[in-house]
Amino acid sequence: MIAVADTSLLNYLILLGRADLLPGLFPRILVPPAVLSELRDPNAPPAVRAWAFQPPVWFEVVPVREIDEGLPSQFGAGEREALSLALETHADILLIDERAGREQADLRKIPVTGTLGILLRANAHAPINIPELLNTLKGLRFRVSPELEADVLEKYSHQNSLRKENRLQ
What is the per-residue pLDDT across 42-73, written as a single tens digit (0 to 9) for each? 999 999 999 999 999 999 999 999 999 999 98
Ranges in the chain, pLDDT < 50 = none
15 Cβ partners below 8 Å, 6+ apart? 45, 47, 48, 140
Shared domain for 102 and 137, answered yes or no, is no
Shared domain for 102 and 124, answered yes or no, is no
Give the CATH number for residue 88.
Answer: 3.40.50.1010
| Per-residue pLDDT, 166 | 67
Which of 114, 129, 151 terminates a domain? The answer is 114
Q: Which long-range contacts (CB under 8 A, 24 or more apart) does 143-150 make?
A: 144/116, 148/116
Shared domain for 102 and 122, answered yes or no, is no
Shared domain for 110 and 122, answered yes or no, is no
Shared domain for 6 and 68, answered yes or no, is yes
Domain region containing 45: 2-114
Inter-residue contact 29 to 68 (CB < 8 Å): no
CA distance 6 to 128: 23
CA distance 165 to 169: 6
| Per-residue pLDDT, 168 | 59
Shared domain for 86 and 151, answered yes or no, is no
